[in-house]
Amino acid sequence: MAEGDFPDTEAGMKAFLKADAGVSALVGSRVFFGSPKQGATLPYIAFARIGGGDDTSEAPIDNAVLNLSCWGRSKEEAFSVANAARKALHNIRRRTLASGVDLHGAIVDTVLWSPDPQDDTPRYIVTTRVTATAAA
């Protein structure tokens, strides 16, 4: 990435969650940005950027707000996926990823029980604020 570029925080988070041992033990490589393909095997994590902005005071810093939808076959399984995601987020400390992103930290703001309104599939939503820069 060129100096002054903003990071692709979503790609960084996807790579980070897939590489986390606790998350991958539960969902394998089933971490999706946006909606997964039809028929995705449970459990999985689907996440979306819902807000955030940038801070250009010294370097382009992305302060992203992300929702992680943690799906499972049961409420207990969805909760286990959400807990694994929370643990992973708490362990973000200056991680440089192959996607060209440095993840500096994450704060979990909300954990919400929110089963799918159409078919009642178990889901927890974890809202987090992630700070990232482009890797040097």
- Written as tens digits, the pLDDT of the chain (136 aa) is 455 677 888 988 898 999 999 999 999 999 999 888 777 899 999 999 999 887 766 678 889 999 999 999 999 999 999 999 999 999 887 666 656 788 888 999 999 999 999 999 999 999 999 988 887 7
Q: Name residue, tokens 């992103």.
A: 101
Distances (CA, A) of 6 to 10, 53, 93, 130: 12, 11, 19, 14
**What's the CA gap between 104 and 133, in Å, rounded?**
8
pTM over 0.75: yes
Q: What pLDDT shows up at residue 27? A: 98
Domain locations along the chain = 9-134
User: Does the structural domain 9-134 have CATH classification 3.30.2000.30?
Assistant: yes
Which phi and psi (to 5°) does residue 69 adopt? Answer: -90, 115
